[in-house]
Amino acid sequence: MTDTKGTVLITGASSGIGAIYADRFAARGHDLILVARNLGRLADVAASLQEKHGVQVKHGVQVKTIAADLGSEEGLRAVDTVLAEDHTITHLVNNAGFGSAAPLTAADVGEMQAMVTINVTAPLRLIYTAVPRFIARGKGTIINISSIVAIGPEILNGVYGGTKSFLLAFSQSLRKELAGTGVNVQVVLPGATGTKFWDVAGLPASNLPTEWVMSAADLVDAALLGLDRREFATIPSLADASEWDAWEASRAVMLPHLSNREPAERYQR
């Protein structure tokens, strides 16, 4: 007999934030489908989870792995197929992604295009597969791992900031569209986090002030607390939540005034 809490599909699950999400959801009694490119690392994570949680959770935790490159059509189709066919899936965690700290003139355009594919196209495709099925079942959860650069895209590489801004904007639209369907949407905006992300981005975390860098475990635990509280946007580093509320309120004030037949008076000669 398998666990009845549902299955969580996590992309980028072989290390860092994704692996910790896997550990935490396993501890909560969820079965797992772990997606990453490196089959060996996935197998190690799966074995560790089954050893750690298999005797702690009633009926044990089932862990499946999919070795897939979400930057390829073949890899996306493989995960799409599982999302379409596995009716036990209740959560989709879009965590896979990579970044860069390079300015435009120093960044390889091919790498930037690959970043857009992983950070934007992959979660978009997986959400389009998962959401209709979640709606049909009347329940489901989408967790999109964005970044604080969604709010401040000028902080790091502009393409990276743009991809994370997309995830925030897409999540905002999803929240509106899915209201009342039983499908929950959460977007998580980490600040600097102690993972291998920074090595790939070209700015090792060891070069950052220690007071800036949150552990991946603390980040995920905070994000899951936000999920339990039904937060839409969770920013674990932000001490004063009213700052986010004020930002959202300012946006809401502008929305009714952004489209008019005539230019604003200041643009009229």
pLDDT digits (tens, 9 = 90+) for 197-210: 655 555 565 666 67
Expressed in percent and rounded to 5, the helix, strand and coil fractions of the chain are 50, 15, 35
Instruction: Give catalytic status of residue 128 as yes or no.
Output: no
* Active-site residue, from 21, 128, 160, 267: 160
Q: Cβ of 159: how many Cβ atoms within 10 Å? A: 22
Burial (0-12, 13-18, 19+ Cβ within 10 Å), 190: buried
Q: Please report which confidence band the pLDDT of residue 2 belongs to, taking 50, 70 and 90 as the band edges.
A: very low
Taking 70 as the threshold, does the pLDDT of residue 24 lie above it? yes
Average pLDDT in the chain: 91
Taking 60 as the threshold, does the pLDDT of residue 129 lie above it? yes
Q: Please report which confidence band the pLDDT of residue 118 belongs to, taking 50, 70 and 90 as the band edges.
A: very high
46/23 Cα distance (integer angstroms): 9
Instruction: Please enumerate in sequence order all residues whose Cβ is within 8 A of that of 226, keeping only pairs 6 or more positions apart, or say none.
Output: 186, 188, 234, 236
pLDDT digits (tens, 9 = 90+) for 203-253: 565 666 677 789 999 999 999 999 999 999 999 999 999 999 999 999 999
pTM flag (> 0.75): yes
